[in-house]
């Protein structure tokens, strides 16, 4: 409960193997590949699957799934603090990491999971919205300077069709062909209209 409250999580999943936790390890993102290297009472990470949880239980490791995005979104604050220290030291070197990109894609995955039929190809346009802060003025300028027609053309030229839209178009063109869903519906209710 403490972890859930401190990280402001809506929910968390856990495997309890110890009543008292004295040591813990944290891996941002999806850290289950490190499970056999963890030598603490409890392991916090994201993207824990059922079999991962059972594996943790079998090796007597308490486990808390805090979510992929949730484990990474504090990284920007840490990087900002690091950059300020770096500037004070007047050091020209700066370590490079892929954590920012991983955090961005973690946030992206968290966003598109909310859609029951997320369309990866078109959803990719969400990524720029997740970078930095958007002011009302920037949003207004973007909406006023690009038309829906231009956006559709750009998507067609740069992203292409998704499998879902290919299926829909296939069934539209082939009116004598019914989709698997329509075939099942006909079996259940043979008196239903042809194009239900």
Tens-digit pLDDT profile for residues 166-177: 777 788 877 665
Residue 62 included in any domain: yes
Contacts with 86 (C-beta within 8 Å, 6 or more apart), sequence order: 94
The alpha carbon of 147 is separated from its chain's Cα centroid by a whole number of angstroms, namely: 28
Q: Which of 23-32, 70-79, 171-180 has the highest average model confidence (pLDDT)?
A: 23-32
User: 145 pLDDT band (50/70/90 cuts)?
Assistant: very high
Q: How many C-beta neighbours within 10 Å does residue 185 have?
A: 14
What interhelical angle do 99-112 and 75-89 show, nearest 10? Answer: 160
Q: Please report, for the domain that includes residue 56, its CATH number.
A: 3.40.1390.30
* First-last CA distance in the chain: 48
Least confident of 30-39, 88-97, 170-179: 88-97
In a domain, 79, yes or no: no
Q: Is residue 87 part of a domain?
A: no
Q: Which of 142, 135, 139, 68 is nearest to 104 (CA)?
A: 68
User: Is residue 28 assigned to a domain?
Assistant: yes
pLDDT value of position 135: 85
pLDDT band of residue 196 (cuts 50, 70, 90) is very low
Distance CA 156, CA 149 (A): 11
Least confident of 76-80, 132-136, 180-184, 192-196: 192-196
Total domains present in the chain: 1
**Structural domain includes residue 172:** no
Residue 116 pLDDT class (50, 70, 90 cuts): low
| pLDDT score at 101 | 72
Parent domain of 51: 2-72
- Domain presence at residue 8: yes
Average pLDDT value for residue range 120-130: 73
Identify whether 24 is part of a domain. Answer: yes
pLDDT value for 195 = 45
């Amino acid at each position: 409960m403490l972890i859930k409250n401190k990280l402001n999580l809506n929910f968390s999943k856990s495997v309890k193997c110890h009543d008292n936790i004295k040591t813990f390890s944290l891996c941002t993102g999806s850290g289950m590949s490190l499970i056999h290297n963890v030598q603490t009472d409890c392991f916090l990470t994201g993207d824990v699957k059922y079999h991962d949880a059972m594996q943790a239980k079998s090796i007597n490791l308490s486990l808390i799934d805090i979510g992929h995005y949730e484990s990474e979104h504090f990284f920007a604050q840490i990087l900002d603090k690091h950059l300020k220290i770096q500037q004070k030291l007047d050091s020209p070197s700066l370590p490079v990491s892929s954590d920012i990109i991983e955090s961005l894609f973690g946030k992206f995955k968290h966003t598109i999971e909310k859609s029951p039929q997320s369309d990866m190809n078109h959803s990719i346009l969400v990524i720029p919205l997740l970078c930095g802060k958007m002011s009302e003025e920037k949003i207004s300028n973007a909406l006023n300077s690009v038309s829906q027609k231009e956006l559709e053309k750009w998507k067609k030229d740069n992203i292409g069709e998704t499998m879902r839209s290919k299926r829909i178009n296939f069934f539209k063109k082939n009116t004598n062909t019914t989709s698997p869903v329509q075939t099942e519906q006909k079996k259940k209710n043979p008196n239903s209209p042809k194009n239900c």
